[in-house]
Amino acid sequence: MNNPYNRFIFILLSALFFSCQNKDSISISGTIENPGNIKVVAFYEGDIKLDSVFLGDGNRFKFERLSSQGRLLSLEVGKNKYPIILEPGAEVNFTTDLQNPEQYSIEGSQLSSDLKEFAPYTSRKKFVEDSLQSEFAKKSNNKTSDQIDELRVEFLGKFRSELNQYTQQAVDFASKHPNLAGFYAMSTLDPELAENEIIAYSDQIKDEFPDNRYVIQFKEEAAKLKVLAIGQPAPEFESFTPDNKVVKLSDFKGKYTLIDFWASWCVPCRQENPNIVRLYNQYKDKGFTVFGVSLDNNPGSWMRAIKDDQLDWTQVSDLQAWSSDLVIKYRLKAIPASYIVDKDGIIIGKNLRGKELENFLSEHIL
């Protein structure tokens, strides 16, 4: 290496090698002050854990991974999660103190700094969720089922009001940040409360971030959400009545129809049945009906519940319980669950119970 020319070539090739290496990898290093018993920093992409690294001397860490594109990740330290965006070739440094974990700094990534601007909104959202849940639990003590139902409607109204504000904040942030930072904000929205916004955003970015796994997953979920969105035709299905007759959803065209997913073993379903019976009798002569779909697997229990609860509308079941094809087709995660369709079979309401269902019917059934 004494030859100056050879030394120059070595330096040039080394610089070229490390430059290419940086362009094909993402990395972040940092320091966790006052980590206590925490020894590991973990990295997630969506729900998938990519890697974890140990804290070294001075409570420092470094994470590096091959990637030719920007990645939206979560850096997890103990119970604290921080959204970060790492881009190939960027030298990113992260610092936080676990005695005050909400205060953190990140350098070398403008997109990650943009995410930090959105952090107060997510913190506020979590605070509201936790506070309302705690207050609801406290007020529900020693209440009757009817009183709890009224409380539930009241708190759902508060929850939706607060989350509607958060939804708008996320939409505004995404419009100002047409990149992975904006995507992160939209990915935090609740599908139950921001269905239209999620679907619209997914359509907007349909040709963007084509190789990003997290974005691909978001688009796939939005596509599934769109099938059952308000304004879409309810997916057709058929099943069997207790006397083994085939009934199709399309048989109810021309009427407003509540598709009620329930089961004889489902306590909340049975508690809601008197409300549905009352509303059915009130509106059945005004173009409204109910189509009961049971997730039972015992025909005896199913038919006894129909009789005991006086469910005088059409009832069907394939007696496959959670193995029914309808669980996948209608994305059922829990029951009771319901959809309201108009006379043309278009979805106009979802998962309405108690006073909410009564108010909806009074507005739509004349």
Q: What pLDDT, in 10s, does the model give residues 178-200?
A: 999 999 999 999 988 899 999 99
Least confident of 20-29, 109-118, 237-246, 322-331: 20-29
The token duo for 271 is: 């508690």
Contact present, 64 and 77 (Cβ < 8 Å) = no
Contact present, 171 and 197 (Cβ < 8 Å) = yes
Whether the predicted pLDDT of 5 surpasses 70: no
Contact present, 182 and 174 (Cβ < 8 Å) = yes
Q: Across-strand partners of 248?
A: 238
In angstroms, the CA 289 to CA 366 distance is 14
* pLDDT of the residue at 9: 43
Contact present, 74 and 84 (Cβ < 8 Å) = yes
Least confident of 9-18, 54-63, 178-187, 347-356: 9-18
Stated pTM of the model: 0.75
pLDDT band at 320 (very low <50, low <70, confident <90, very high): very high
* pLDDT of the residue at 22: 52
Query: How many other β-carbons are positioned within 10 Å of the β-carbon of residue 146?
Result: 13
Least confident of 177-191, 201-215, 223-237, 249-263: 201-215
Whether the predicted pLDDT of 211 surpasses 80: no
Beta-strand pair 288-294/314-316: parallel
Query: How many angstroms from the chain centroid is the CA of residue 302?
Result: 32
* pLDDT of the residue at 202: 96
Secondary element (H or E) of residue 110:
helix 110-140
Task: Break the chain into its structural domains and give their ranges.
Answer: 4-108, 116-227, 238-364
Mean pLDDT of the chain: 89
At the fourth CATH level, the homologous superfamily of domain 238-364 is: Glutaredoxin (3.40.30.10)
Per-residue pLDDT averaged across 38-43, rounded? Answer: 95
Per-residue pLDDT averaged across 248-258, rounded? Answer: 97
pLDDT band at 24 (very low <50, low <70, confident <90, very high): confident
Whether the predicted pLDDT of 146 surpasses 80: no
* pLDDT of the residue at 140: 84
In angstroms, the CA 259 to CA 291 distance is 5
Query: How many other β-carbons are positioned within 10 Å of the β-carbon of residue 207?
Result: 6
Whether the predicted pLDDT of 6 surpasses 50: no
* pLDDT of the residue at 136: 86
Termini Cα distance of the chain: 92
Whether the predicted pLDDT of 18 surpasses 50: no
* pLDDT of the residue at 355: 87
pLDDT band at 4 (very low <50, low <70, confident <90, very high): very low
For 130, 179, 277, the CA distances from 271, given in Å and listed in that order, are 26, 47, 11
In angstroms, the CA 23 to CA 70 distance is 11
* pLDDT of the residue at 299: 96
pLDDT band at 237 (very low <50, low <70, confident <90, very high): very high
| Strands ordered across the beta sheet of 92-97 | 60-66, 25-33, 92-97, 104-107
Alpha helical stretches, state H, 228-318:
267-283, 299-308
Pick the CATH number of 4-108 from 3.30.300, 1.10.3470, 3.40.1350, 2.60.40: 2.60.40
pLDDT band at 7 (very low <50, low <70, confident <90, very high): very low
Whether the predicted pLDDT of 16 surpasses 70: no
In angstroms, the CA 366 to CA 326 distance is 31
Contact present, 258 and 358 (Cβ < 8 Å) = no
Helices vs strands, H then E, count in the chain: 10, 15
* pLDDT of the residue at 186: 96
Per-residue pLDDT averaged across 54-80, rounded? Answer: 92
Per-residue pLDDT averaged across 235-241, rounded? Answer: 97
* pLDDT of the residue at 23: 67
Does 161 or 114 have the greater pLDDT score? 114
In angstroms, the CA 343 to CA 39 distance is 60
* pLDDT of the residue at 14: 41
pLDDT band at 10 (very low <50, low <70, confident <90, very high): very low
Query: How many other β-carbons are positioned within 10 Å of the β-carbon of residue 92?
Result: 20
